[in-house]
Amino acid sequence: MASVSLPKLTLHSLFPTQSPKTPLCLNNSILHKLPQSQFHGLKLSRSSSTSIPSSSSVKTSIFAKVTQGTVPPAFTLKDQDGKNVSLSKFKGKPVVVYFYPADETPGCTKQACAFRDSYEKFKKAGAEVVGISGDDSSSHKAFSKKYKLPFTLLSDEGNKVRKDWGVPSDLFGTLPGRQTYVLDKNGKVQLIYNNQFQPEKHIDETLKLLQSL
Amino acid sequence: MRIPPTTRSDPSLKSTWSHRAWVASGCTTVLIALANSIMGAAESHIWLEPILAGLVGYVLADLGSGVYHWGIDNYGSAETPVIGPQIEAFQGHHKWPWTITRRQFANNLHALARTVTFFVLPIDLACHDSILLGFVGVCSGCIMFSQQFHAWAHGTKSKLPPIVVALQDAGILVSRPQHAAHHRQPYNNNYCIVSGVWNEFLDTQNVFGALEMILFFKLGVRPRSWDEPNSDWTEETETSSQVALP
């Protein structure tokens, strides 16, 4: 039985911190239509025998669970070699976790290559880079090999982690969102950046923040 | 493997009587719409709205040409029902872009003229509103002639009529440099071929990119522009008889 805990609407997924929107990202226009009431992080708790419905794109486009200053939910996902990788592995150093729509699509390729080309700068800042999409390990392996990506790609099959972290969708739920989180060495979120159609900006914004950490 | 139409006398570039008939019927339906619009305007002495409607038709024809061009450049194949031959023709155009300048007039326009006939004839028969007819006449006329504007955009400046060059330079017809950009890697921009007025907006706002992503996630189809052009798509360099893009 779902129970709703009390609300203060976070408009985070519609208007995350540090997120210049491209004109085609309609989140701001949805924002203006919302009521002015505030409630934060709708939390649904269910008994273990039921499962949360997967058509949660509306939910994730309105309610964000991971916000700046919080510690995001832990996860263990398979990497491009099929090995399990946990978020906790990266504790002790900053980590850039970037959620992207899909391997081998133009924006995601640009973004991955941009992270690759700036990877030394991320290493210099002591940070690790992790990309997450709903593609499987073999897709990640091929993508990683083709573009010689030096960082880990994780397979979030079923988009469970994407939903747990509240990554908003774009274009009325038709596109998985492109959102990047920078976690500090204590695992706390210091930056959330969302930009679907200017993928290279994710690198600039995250590096800027890392260099100040 | 398709064989390129390499010589000016290649029959696939020549107009047939069937082509000419379709172009005649397309032009007739467009002219009827325009004539009825003008007569209606003259009777009612209301000119501004039909003229504005015509202008809107001209502007939207450019957008329509871009959307259609994007669709058939990226999706479907020669086996697609109804429009398979058009898709094949567009792929052939990318491989041998210069051949469009060698197509005879009716050969080039007949497919669009046929579509215009089917759409505009019923409107001509049913509609007497000068504003709507102004819009339909100009819009359909621009769409029908877009293949001619397209051919001119592949021409060389020195061989085009001066009036055409002037209209291209003024942005009234799609320009040669703008269309040349469409024929360069990554073949995913400058799709509009009437005036090209929509190209900058559609490309800078990545409208087609967004549509491609939506179709990919909803239907699982990848547009051709996402992948390295295969040999069916890549432009061949012509022999010495090529009409080069300026």
Residue B12 lies in a domain: no
Lookup: tokens for B26: 């397309």
Selected catalytic residue, list A77, A87, A95, A108: A108
Instruction: Find out whether B126 and B29 touch, Cβ atoms under 8 Å.
Output: no
pLDDT digits (tens, 9 = 90+) for B135-194: 999 999 999 999 999 999 999 999 999 999 999 999 999 999 999 999 998 889 999 999
A212 pLDDT tier (thresholds 50, 70, 90):
confident
3-class SS letters over chain B: CCCCCCCCCCHHHCCCHHHHHHHHHHHHHHHHHHHHHHHHHHHHCCCHHHHHHHHHHHHHHHHHHHHHHHHHHHCCCCCCCCCHHHHHHHHHHHHCHHHHHHCCHHHHHHHHHHHHHHHHHHHHHHCCCHHHHHHHHHHHHHHHHHHHHHHHHCCCHHHCCHHHHHHHHCCCCCCHHHHHHHCCCCCCCCCCCCCCCCHHHHHHCCHHHHHHHHHHHHHCCCCHHHCCCCCCCCCCCCCCCCCCCC
Residue B1 lies in a domain: no
Distance from the Cα of A76 to chain B's closest Cα (Å) equals 25
Of A23, A24, A174, the CB nearest to B217: A174
Residue B64 lies in a domain: yes
> Is A23 close to B205, i.e. CB distance below 8 A?
yes
The amino acid at A192: I
Q: Is 70 exceeded by the pLDDT of residue A75?
A: yes
pLDDT digits (tens, 9 = 90+) for B65-107: 999 999 999 999 999 998 898 898 888 888 888 889 999 999 9
> Is A105 close to B226, i.e. CB distance below 8 A?
yes
DSSP annotation of A187: S
Q: How do strand A179-183 and strand A189-194 relate by DSSP bridges?
A: antiparallel
* Containing structural domain, residue B75: 17-239
Distance from the Cα of B93 to chain A's closest Cα (Å) equals 24
Q: How do strand A84-86 and strand A76-79 relate by DSSP bridges?
A: antiparallel
Q: Which residues, other chains included, contact B157 with Cβ-Cβ below 8 Å and sequence gap of 6+?
A: B165, B176, B246
Residue B21 lies in a domain: yes
Q: What is this model's ipTM? A: 0.78
Residue B6 lies in a domain: no
Residue B8 lies in a domain: no
All residues of chain A having their beta carbon less than 8 Å from the beta carbon of residue B212 are 106
The amino acid at B101: T
Residue B230 lies in a domain: yes
Of B205, B210, B216, the CB nearest to A171: B210
Q: Is 60 exceeded by the pLDDT of residue B224?
A: yes
Distance from the Cα of B11 to chain A's closest Cα (Å) equals 40
Residue B9 lies in a domain: no
Domain count, chain B: 1
